[in-house]
Structure 1
Amino acid sequence: MESKSIILSIALISCFFMIALADPTINYIGANDNGVSHFPVYQGLKMHIRCYANPNTSMSNGPVALFDAGLPFSSLVFANVLIELLPTISTMNISRACVFDRYGYGWSDPAPYPFMSTEFVYRLHGSLNAASIQSPYIMVGWSWGSVDIQNYALQYMNEVVGLLTIDGTDSAYAFDPKNAPGLAGATAAIEQLLQLLPTGAVEGMLANIPLEFGYIPSNPLGCAFPIEAQTANNQWWMTEKNLNTALQEVQIMIPSTSLLNQTYESMNTATPLSNIPLVVMTADSNGEYWILRQNVLASLSSKSYHIHDNTSSHFIPIQNPAGIVSALQTLLTYVDQHQPIIVI
């Protein structure tokens, strides 16, 4: 019995260190990268969450800002945002800023099957608890990440004190007639890349890979981007794990947004996100129809603010990271005035 207790203790200690220790080889922004990577395991799958603490200890009880990337990108796409954010984080009422890799991207385990956004959110919740990254949360979602943070707010409303969507995917995505054929084309392209990957032919195609597919070239869209993040991103990109993950996520985009739309409709209220402070940042270059849908997204909370970026494309985290930091600061002014939501 005593030997079993010792073995159990060792196992628990190993589990703790697996969660708490950082990998020193992970680097997003260069020489000044002081982030700590966590690797919580929840229901058999490891998730990578990297956090940057606020050096201002008076903010230690502030909310955690969580960043969810677009599809098919890992959290490394937020490198420019971190470069802009970290020099000013001490003035913000957040305890730390954390980026994370959805399953299959970056340093997270691959999913055994395509996870709907609702299932991913359930697992994210468990992973955050396993890593002792406790609420309250300010959730930031770029592109597809916006669907996740909306679902998180719906499922765990008492944990979320603010939402920031960055040219975020909305629940109307499922009903846009151009999306189904676009996803079919993306599926065919990813399947072709998977077939060519073992032959080495993909390496000769990299100069022609659109940024939308997740490969980050030097100076993407004419913008500086940290070589550390670019190198790591592209090493992951050139793997079967990454391409299979992109294929899985493409499969769940329409059903996940359709389910989100059904959830909103079933709540029978004009503001299904209640009074959670919500800032919507929109790339106006995507056209009037997109702006109208973003207006609808902004209307989901009774406390919202719509910011228009009229210079960037959809890739705001790369092109306008300062704008994202400014939007986060705007959101924090709403959060500081926000009374906690009472869930009965």
Structure 2
Amino acid sequence: MRQMIITKSKVLAALLLVTVVVSAGNAQVRDDFDGAFNPALSWQWVAPGNTPYHTEDSTHYSFSPSTLDIVMQPGTLTLNENNAHNILTLRVGPAQRGWYIETRFTLDLAGASGAWVQAGLLWLLHADHYYTYHLVLNPFNGNLFLGTAHEENGSFINGGAQSSEWSPNLNTVTLRMQDYLAGDLGSYVELWYDNGDGNGMRWLITVPTAAVPGWPFTVLRDVLLNGGRIGIYTDLSGYTGEVMPMASFDYFETNLPILPAGDVNGDCIVDDADLLAVLFAFGQTGANLAEDVNGDEVVDDADLLTVLFSFGSQCGG
């Protein structure tokens, strides 16, 4: 097969043919996981600081006509273990007023017990710097409840919210995190849920972020004010059973500004700055390279092509 070689001069010449279309606003985006990922969303299996960096294990997930089914496997982000699998994220820019993220999923325990089996929403800057809102199995009595967690530099703490417990038969939940409009942007986060008990969507708690003096939740503050990663995850820390639990995600939805593929510097537009960044990093290898657009741990032709064909794309556009 003939190899395509892209030189700097060819790429710069191609830029002369590109017209940048400017658009504004951050629209709602949704992935219903209807047999595949929504191609309009730049999903990545990347978790900086995790081993593996590219967390995809295609043998442990599949699509039904209406769900993304992730079969769990041993691994966790907790307490510097950082060996999780199939962490699915979107890069986002700074939030706007009225932001939210939401998902619905079913946690099929498959008889699992004796471990903190969990799945839910993830805010991620690094494998040692994240916040989660999740459905979790109580390993001591077999009940389910909603929990939160925050980790920074290996220090793991409760994320400021925990629900009462309920029967494991109520294993389909909707989780939502949203802006608290009475406070400053990035200062407070409302947590909502529906566990299928007939009482509908309800408020759980409003959590102050580290933007409020005395509160430790830096990830929420930093992602909301500066951008980062959001997404969905599963965690199977300490489970050794033969049959693995499965989380079936019905949808993921948000109106946070999703960075387009190829936006290397995270400024919500793919432009010459991004292309030049990839060009000057061309050939570098390793994890955590911003210029490695597709997350395969090498900056190569594929990354250049992604930037070129996304040129002019903006958040919400």
TM-score, length-normalised on structure 2?
0.23
Which structure has more relative contact order (CA 8 Å, sep 6+)? It is 2
TM-score, length-normalised on structure 1?
0.22
- Which structure's residues are more often strand, by fraction? 2
